[in-house]
C-alpha cells in the first residue's frame, strides 16, 4: 500500500502505452502508485517490475471502467482523505477503428463510458479531498483529435479538453492544477490493438512515447492547462482553426487503416 508521506499518483490504464510510460517516469521520480486497469494479472506484473526497478510501492485495483460498480471502487479510493492521492491521471483509452454506423451502439456506449464518463466521475471524486487540503494535480489524457472532426472519438476528446481547461481555471485558486494532455499519434500498443498500421499516418506524425511523456510532465510541472507536446502538433491544432471542417474531414481515415 502506498505510504501517506510520499507523493502518490493514481493512474488508469497503466499497463501499456502512454499510461505505462507516465507510471514509469513517476516511479523514477519517487512517487508511489495506485494502478487501475481491467487485467489484474498484468497489473501485478507491472507493479512488481516498478517495485524491483525503482523501489516503488504500488497498490493495484482491477476495475472495468465501463462497469459502474467497478468505477465506484476507484472513486471511493480517490475520495479517501486518509490515503491522499496527490496526482490523478485519467489515461484509460478506448479506440474504435470503424466509423459511427460501423460500430454497435453498445460499443459506442462503452467508448463514451471510458473516455468521458469515467474521467468526469474520477475527477469529481479526486477534487473533493484535493480542494479540502489545498493541493493536488489531475491530468486528463485527451487528444489532438479533439480539435478535429473525427466522429465520436473527437467529440469525446473535445469534452475532455474543455472540461479540463474549465476545471483548471475553476480550482487553481484553491491549489488544484488540472491539465488536459493532448497526444497525436504516439508509438504504443493503442493502435496495435485497433489493428492500425504505422503507415496509416505520415511517419513525421508518429511520436516516441518516452519523449512525449517527458514533455507532458514538464508541462505539468510548469502549471499548464493544456499540453500539446511538439511544435508539429501545436501547428496542426493552430492551423485547424482556419481550415473548413469539410476539408479536415477528408483526412479522418488517418490512423484507422
Which distant-in-sequence residues (6+ apart) come within 8 Å of 60 by Cβ?
A: 34, 35, 36, 40, 43, 44, 47
Global pTM reads 0.88
Question: Does the pLDDT at position 255 exceed 50?
Answer: no
253 has a pLDDT exceeding 60? no
Just give the CATH number of 8-249. Answer: 3.40.50.720
Rounded CA separation 59/223 (Å): 27
What pLDDT does residue 196 have?
A: 52
Burial of 195 (0-12, 13-18, 19+ CB in 10 A): exposed
Residue ranges per domain, the chain? Answer: 8-249
pLDDT band at 48 (very low <50, low <70, confident <90, very high): very high
C-alpha cell at 142: 485527451
* Per-residue model confidence as pLDDT tens digits over 184-226: 888 776 545 545 555 556 677 888 999 999 999 999 999 999 9
User: With the C-alpha atoms ordered 248, 254, 256, 257, is the resulting torsion angle positive or negative?
Assistant: positive
Catalytic residue among 147, 153, 171, 233: 153
153 is catalytic: yes
The beta-strand segments (E) located in 44-102 are 58-62, 87-90
Amino acid at each position: 500500500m502506498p505510504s501517506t508521506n510520499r507523493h502518490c499518483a493514481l493512474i488508469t490504464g497503466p499497463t501499456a502505452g502512454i499510461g505505462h510510460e507516465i507510471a514509469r517516469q513517476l516511479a523514477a521520480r519517487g512517487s508511489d502508485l495506485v494502478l487501475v486497469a481491467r487485467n489484474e494479472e498484468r497489473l501485478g506484473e507491472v507493479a512488481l517490475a516498478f517495485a524491483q526497478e525503482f523501489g516503488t510501492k504500488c497498490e493495484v485495483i482491477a476495475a472495468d471502467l465501463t462497469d459502474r460498480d467497478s468505477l465506484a471502487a476507484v472513486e471511493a479510493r480517490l475520495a479517501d482523505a486518509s490515503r491522499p492521492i496527490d496526482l490523478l491521471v485519467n489515461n484509460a483509452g478506448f479506440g474504435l477503428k470503424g466509423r459511427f454506423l460501423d460500430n454497435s451502439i453498445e460499443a459506442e456506449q462503452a467508448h463514451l463510458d471510458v473516455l468521458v464518463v469515467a474521467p468526469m466521475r474520477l475527477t469529481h471524486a479526486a477534487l473533493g479531498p484535493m480542494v479540502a487540503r489545498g493541493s493536488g494535480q489531475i491530468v486528463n489524457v485527451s487528444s489532438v483529435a479533439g480539435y478535429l472532426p473525427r466522429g465520436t472519438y473527437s467529440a469525446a476528446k473535445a469534452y475532455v479538453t474543455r472540461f479540463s481547461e474549465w476545471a483548471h481555471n475553476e480550482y487553481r485558486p484553491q491549489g488544484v492544477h488540472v491539465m488536459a494532455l493532448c497526444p497525436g499519434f504516439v508509438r504504443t500498443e493503442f493502435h496495435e490493438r485497433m489493428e492500425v498500421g504505422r503507415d496509416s499516418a505520415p511517419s513525421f506524425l508518429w511520436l516516441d512515447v518516452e519523449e512525449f511523456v517527458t514533455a507532458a510532465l514538464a508541462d505539468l510541472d510548469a502549471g499548464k492547462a493544456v499540453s500539446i507536446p511538439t511544435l508539429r502538433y501545436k501547428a496542426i491544432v493552430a492551423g485547424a482553426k482556419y481550415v473548413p471542417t469539410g476539408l479536415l474531414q477528408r483526412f479522418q481515415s488517418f490512423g484507422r487503416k
